[in-house]
Amino acid sequence: MADTVDFALEGEYVELNQLLKLVGLCDSGGAGKALVAEGQVQVDGAVELRKTCKIRAGQQVVCQGARIRVV
Protein backbone atom coordinates (compact mmCIF):
# COMPACT_ATOMS: atom_id res chain seq x y z
CA MET A 1 0.00 0.00 0.00
CA ALA A 2 1.29 3.41 -0.92
CA ASP A 3 -0.63 5.55 1.56
CA THR A 4 -2.49 4.93 4.79
CA VAL A 5 -4.92 7.58 5.98
CA ASP A 6 -6.61 7.64 9.37
CA PHE A 7 -10.10 9.12 9.15
CA ALA A 8 -11.59 10.36 12.42
CA LEU A 9 -15.27 9.46 12.32
CA GLU A 10 -17.76 12.02 13.59
CA GLY A 11 -20.98 10.26 14.46
CA GLU A 12 -21.98 6.62 14.09
CA TYR A 13 -21.01 6.10 10.43
CA VAL A 14 -20.06 7.73 7.12
CA GLU A 15 -21.38 6.65 3.73
CA LEU A 16 -18.72 5.02 1.54
CA ASN A 17 -18.99 7.47 -1.37
CA GLN A 18 -18.73 10.43 1.03
CA LEU A 19 -15.70 8.91 2.77
CA LEU A 20 -13.86 8.70 -0.55
CA LYS A 21 -14.61 12.38 -1.14
CA LEU A 22 -13.67 13.48 2.39
CA VAL A 23 -10.22 11.86 2.23
CA GLY A 24 -9.54 13.34 -1.21
CA LEU A 25 -9.63 10.21 -3.37
CA CYS A 26 -12.26 11.83 -5.60
CA ASP A 27 -13.71 15.29 -6.18
CA SER A 28 -17.36 14.57 -5.37
CA GLY A 29 -19.73 12.04 -3.89
CA GLY A 30 -20.85 11.22 -7.43
CA ALA A 31 -17.28 10.40 -8.44
CA GLY A 32 -17.06 8.22 -5.31
CA LYS A 33 -20.20 6.36 -6.38
CA ALA A 34 -18.61 5.73 -9.79
CA LEU A 35 -15.47 4.23 -8.18
CA VAL A 36 -17.64 1.92 -6.08
CA ALA A 37 -19.81 0.92 -9.07
CA GLU A 38 -16.68 0.03 -11.04
CA GLY A 39 -15.58 -2.38 -8.30
CA GLN A 40 -12.48 -0.34 -7.39
CA VAL A 41 -13.22 -0.15 -3.66
CA GLN A 42 -12.69 -2.80 -1.00
CA VAL A 43 -14.09 -2.71 2.52
CA ASP A 44 -12.38 -5.02 5.03
CA GLY A 45 -10.77 -6.98 2.18
CA ALA A 46 -13.89 -7.58 0.06
CA VAL A 47 -15.05 -5.65 -3.02
CA GLU A 48 -17.96 -3.40 -2.01
CA LEU A 49 -20.57 -2.45 -4.61
CA ARG A 50 -23.05 -0.63 -2.33
CA LYS A 51 -22.32 3.05 -2.97
CA THR A 52 -23.77 4.33 0.29
CA CYS A 53 -22.57 1.45 2.46
CA LYS A 54 -22.28 2.59 6.09
CA ILE A 55 -18.64 2.63 7.16
CA ARG A 56 -18.09 2.49 10.92
CA ALA A 57 -15.11 2.86 13.25
CA GLY A 58 -12.70 -0.06 12.99
CA GLN A 59 -13.28 -0.73 9.28
CA GLN A 60 -10.68 -0.35 6.53
CA VAL A 61 -11.31 0.84 3.01
CA VAL A 62 -8.86 0.37 0.13
CA CYS A 63 -9.13 2.37 -3.09
CA GLN A 64 -6.59 3.38 -5.74
CA GLY A 65 -3.61 2.18 -3.69
CA ALA A 66 -4.67 4.05 -0.55
CA ARG A 67 -5.79 2.43 2.68
CA ILE A 68 -8.26 4.35 4.85
CA ARG A 69 -8.54 3.34 8.51
CA VAL A 70 -11.72 4.63 10.12
CA VAL A 71 -11.13 5.49 13.77
pLDDT for res 2: 61
Q: Could you give the domains of the chain?
A: 3-70 (3.10.290.10)
pLDDT for res 29: 86
Band of pLDDT at residue 3, cut at 50, 70 and 90: confident
Band of pLDDT at residue 35, cut at 50, 70 and 90: very high
What are phi and psi for residue 67, nearest 5 degrees? Answer: -110, 130
Those residues with Cβ within 8 angstroms of residue 2's Cβ, 6 or more apart along the chain or in another chain: 65, 66
